[in-house]
Amino acid sequence: MEKVIIFSAPSGSGKTTIVHELLKRYPQFEFSISATSRAPRGAEQDGVDYYFLTEEEFLRRIEADAFVEWEAVYAGTHYGTLRSEVDRIWSKGNVIIFDVDVVGGVNLKKIFGNKACSVFIMPPSVEELERRLIGRGTDAPEVIAKRVAKAGQEIERAPEFDHVVVNDDLQRAIADTCAIIDNFIAQ
Ligand code: 5GP
């Protein structure tokens, strides 16, 4: 059966680190590359981390109904999953791994139903999340403030996910996630 695994979390929860580890361990998993209208950060590459689109091009594709789901995650910055990306991965027989924001994760679970397993990565606390975002050193202080402000609302939606994994210890969080996934894949 065609399957998808959805990971959502407040920004800075360690979700991307966990997703990268899973992609190394499971060769049949493939990362869904989202489209975004934000600028590349650090070493990010077009077609690897995201499909980087101009705001104009993003809006044109919304009009053309090219997205499975899209969202203005931050004011003026769009993110979304292209239909072509889902087709690309499933046509190879691979399992799609989504790394999306919390609203996107809830929406994708509704869209894919029992083809989907949704996992919420929970930070130990909002204070720890802020420390990690500052330590990452990739975002301006006002961007960090926006992400921290959003985290509280996002955490309230954790019960809408199939599973919640607390990331206070990375190796344990990875092990917990693998156990959830092994069970889903075996179904
Ligand atoms: P970042 O700018 O840190 O890469 O991502 C910001 C947020 O947008 C993250 O929570 C990320 O998971 C989310 N995001 C990335 N791609 C998508 C997508 O296709 N749809 C939605 N709804 N959110 C996304």
User: What is the pLDDT, as a whole number, of residue 177?
Assistant: 97
- Give residue-wise pLDDT tens across range 82-132: 999 999 999 999 999 999 989 999 999 999 999 999 999 999 888 888 888
- The span from the CA of 164 to the CA of 185, in Å, is 17
Centre of ligand 1 from the C-alpha of residue 164, in Å: 18
| Closest C-alpha among 117, 102, 104 to residue 4 | 117
Give me the percent of the chain exceeding a pLDDT of 90.
76
- The span from the CA of 137 to the CA of 75, in Å, is 21
- The span from the CA of 156 to the CA of 146, in Å, is 17
- Best residue for ligand 1 mutational test, from 48, 62, 101, 110 (most atoms within 8 Å of Cβ): 101
User: Is 41 strand, coil or helix?
Assistant: coil
| Closest C-alpha among 63, 64, 7 to residue 34 | 7
Question: pTM higher than 0.85 for the full model?
Answer: yes
CA-proximal residue: ligand 1, atom 12 (nearest): 100
**8 A C-beta contact, residue 17 and residue 170:** yes
Strands 4-8 and 116-122: parallel
Sheet of 34-36, strands arranged across:
50-52, 34-36, 77-82, 67-74
Centre of ligand 1 from the C-alpha of residue 47, in Å: 15
**8 A C-beta contact, residue 159 and residue 8:** no
Stretches where the chain sits below pLDDT 50 are none
